[in-house]
């Protein structure tokens, strides 16, 4: 053996190591980009935190358990534990991400979530300053269910007979009245200055310790923003604490294992059924307990109205239409960051539609915008609908907001649509079903001019080759 042969072998070894490291890093970046793109989409459309829906091909037993759901903690039915969350007010897309986080927690902790009504949790400015109906319910918008058994995740808090008589107006005051629950139930209140992670560890331990005892459970009141809570950033959530006599509520922070706690087979002596892989994560991919994808949490009633809306859109579109598209123009506060002047819209459409005239397809675009100026709206429609634009003889544009509003008016006046649903939030949910949300199967092409998603051109031919082939 010469010295050169030995050094050749080590060079090859080093190369192999470099390639493997590069590949691992590439995978990491790829997933990272994917997630940040999806997050951006979720921000823009205000929905679907479905990054977890992406099934990653793998032989890794932990990931497999996550993909096929065998990672899940199985909870006795009905779920005895309760989580009450006071959320303050925000827009519906923000709410949905909070609901999704709460759903994950409840799924794993064997709880259901009680919520103040939407009228108390949604910000008024998105409804033109008009207060929302007090009768509005969360399941008017979302029917989120546990993957384990299909039972609902959320319950209207006003239906809980055990709420405190001192609790008024969905304020920050204590919601649960512990005296109305049997002895042995644990009440945990997380206020704005609480360490949520510590509270979570105590609750987690409690939920395991009394897993089989129908007479002991927990009531967890959360009065803190889930976004800023430290529990959201913990990936993964802390493992079950190992202690010999595991029945005090002291959180010692002594974990089953250290940082790499994702061991499928890790057991603790606290509870024989516990496995680390069961833990959810509020901000990354981990064991799933609820489905947050907007098209899969659609309530029955909303589903029916969406179908009716789609029927109306088809009836209004030229009957040569074989491709529906969605054009979302965000005006208002986005005008500064995204140029949506008529001159720019004309240029954008020219560039985006360029080439589609030779495909034999007839496109009907559905225009949605927060712009109230009817002149602007009509001028955008005219950009393609006018006879003076023969290059668009294969394109037609409809005002999507107008169609939805007309439908809501019609169905509202015949009482087919309950009065409580006649608001901007519901209108927005309906718009999702024709293209505001890509995952609904109606529009096939998407053009957008909005703050964070403001391309100078979306050439449809190259962006959607399958549609135009």
Q: Which residues bind ligand NAG (CB under 6 A)?
A: 82, 139, 143, 145, 150, 160-162, 168-169, 171, 180-182, 191-194, 245, 247-248, 250, 252, 254, 257-258, 263, 265-266, 299-300, 319, 339, 341, 343-344, 347, 350-351, 354-355
Q: How far is the CB of 217 from ligand NAG (least distance, A)?
A: 9
Q: How far is the CB of 52 from ligand NAG (least distance, A)?
A: 20
The CA distance from 73 to 68, in Å, is: 13
**Which residues contact residue 261 at a Cβ distance below 8 angstroms, ignoring those fewer than 6 apart?**
236, 239, 255, 276
Q: Whose Cβ is closer to ligand NAG: residue 41's or residue 309's?
A: 309
Q: Is 396 within 8 Å of 418 (Cβ atoms)? A: no
Q: Whose Cβ is closer to ligand NAG: residue 8's or residue 247's?
A: 247
Q: Whose Cβ is closer to ligand NAG: residue 1's or residue 343's?
A: 343
In residues, how long is the chain? 469
Give the pair of three-digit tokens for residue 226: 């889930």
Q: How far is the CB of 256 from ligand NAG (least distance, A)?
A: 8
Where does residue 412 fall: left (phi above 0), alpha (psi -120 to 50 degrees), or beta otherwise? alpha
Q: How far is the CB of 389 from ligand NAG (least distance, A)?
A: 12
Q: Whose Cβ is closer to ligand NAG: residue 41's or residue 106's?
A: 106
Q: Whose Cβ is closer to ligand NAG: residue 263's or residue 310's?
A: 263
Give the pair of three-digit tokens for residue 179: 């005296």
The CA distance from 415 to 421, in Å, is: 11
The CA distance from 469 to 373, in Å, is: 37
Q: Is 432 within 8 Å of 406 (Cβ atoms)? A: no
Q: Whose Cβ is closer to ligand NAG: residue 108's or residue 210's?
A: 210
DSSP per-residue codes, 162-191: TB-TT--TT-SS--B-GGGS-TT-EEEEE-
Q: Is 381 within 8 Å of 367 (Cβ atoms)? A: yes
Q: Whose Cβ is closer to ligand NAG: residue 38's or residue 334's?
A: 334
Q: How far is the CB of 44 from ligand NAG (least distance, A)?
A: 21
Q: How far is the CB of 215 from ligand NAG (least distance, A)?
A: 9
Q: How far is the CB of 11 from ligand NAG (least distance, A)?
A: 30
Q: How far is the CB of 376 from ligand NAG (least distance, A)?
A: 14
Q: Is 469 exposed, middle or buried (0-12, 13-18, 19+ CB in 10 A)?
A: exposed
The CA distance from 330 to 43, in Å, is: 14
Ranked by CB distance to ligand NAG, the top (closest) residue is: 245
Element (H, E) at 18: helix 3-45
DSSP reduced 3-state for 407: helix
Q: Whose Cβ is closer to ligand NAG: residue 193's or residue 388's?
A: 193
Q: Whose Cβ is closer to ligand NAG: residue 41's or residue 292's?
A: 292
**How many Cβ atoms from other residues are within 10 Å of residue 139's Cβ?**
18
Q: How far is the CB of 368 from ligand NAG (least distance, A)?
A: 21
């Amino acid at each position: 053996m010469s010295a050169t042969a030995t050094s050749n072998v080590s060079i090859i070894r080093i190369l192999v190591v470099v390639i493997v490291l590069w590949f691992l890093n590439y995978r990491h970046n790829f997933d990272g980009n994917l997630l940040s793109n999806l997050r951006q989409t979720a921000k823009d459309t205000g929905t679907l935190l479905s990054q977890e829906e992406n099934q990653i091909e793998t032989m890794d037993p932990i990931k497999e358990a996550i993909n096929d759901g065998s990672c899940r903690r199985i909870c006795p039915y009905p779920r005895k534990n309760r989580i009450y969350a006071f959320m303050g007010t925000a827009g519906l897309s923000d709410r949905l991400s909070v609901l999704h986080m709460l759903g994950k927690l409840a799924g794993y902790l064997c709880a259901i979530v009680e919520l103040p009504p939407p009228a108390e949790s949604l910000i008024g400015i998105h409804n033109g300053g008009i207060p929302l109906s007090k009768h509005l319910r969360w399941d008017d918008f979302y029917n989120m269910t546990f993957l384990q058994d299909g039972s609902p995740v959320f319950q209207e808090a006003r239906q809980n007979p055990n709420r405190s008589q001192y609790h008024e107006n969905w304020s920050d005051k204590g919601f649960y009245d512990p005296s109305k629950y049997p002895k042995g139930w644990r009440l945990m209140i997380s206020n704005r200055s609480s360490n949520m992670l510590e509270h979570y560890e105590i609750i987690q331990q409690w939920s395991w310790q009394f897993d089989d005892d129908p007479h002991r459970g927990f009531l967890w009141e959360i009065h803190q923003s889930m976004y800023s809570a430290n529990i959201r950033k913990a990936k993964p959530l802390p493992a079950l604490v190992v202690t010999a006599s595991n029945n005090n509520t002291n959180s010692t922070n002594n974990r089953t294992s250290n940082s790499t706690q994702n061991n499928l087979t890790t057991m603790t002596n606290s509870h024989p059924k516990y496995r680390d892989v069961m833990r959810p994560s509020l901000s990354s991919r981990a064991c799933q307990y609820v489905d947050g994808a907007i098209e899969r949490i659609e309530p029955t009633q909303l589903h029916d109205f969406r179908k009716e809306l789609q029927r109306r859109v088809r009836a209004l579109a030229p009957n040569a239409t074989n491709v529906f598209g969605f054009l979302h123009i965000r005006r208002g506060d986005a005008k500064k960051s995204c140029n949506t002047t008529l001159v720019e819209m004309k240029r954008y459409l020219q560039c985006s539609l360029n080439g589609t005239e030779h495909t034999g397809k007839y496109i009907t675009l559905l225009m949605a915008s927060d712009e109230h100026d009817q002149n602007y709206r009509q001028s955008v429609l005219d950009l393609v609908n006018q006879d003076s634009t023969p290059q668009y003889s294969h394109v037609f544009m409809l005002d999507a907001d107008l169609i939805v509003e007309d439908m809501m008016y019609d169905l509202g006046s015949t009482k087919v649509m309950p009065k409580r649903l006649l608001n901007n939030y519901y209108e927005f949910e309906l718009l999702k079903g024709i293209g505001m949300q890509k995952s609904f199967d109606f529009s096939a092409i998407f053009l957008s001019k909005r703050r964070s998603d403001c391309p100078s051109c979306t050439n449809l031919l190259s962006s959607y080759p399958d549609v135009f082939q």
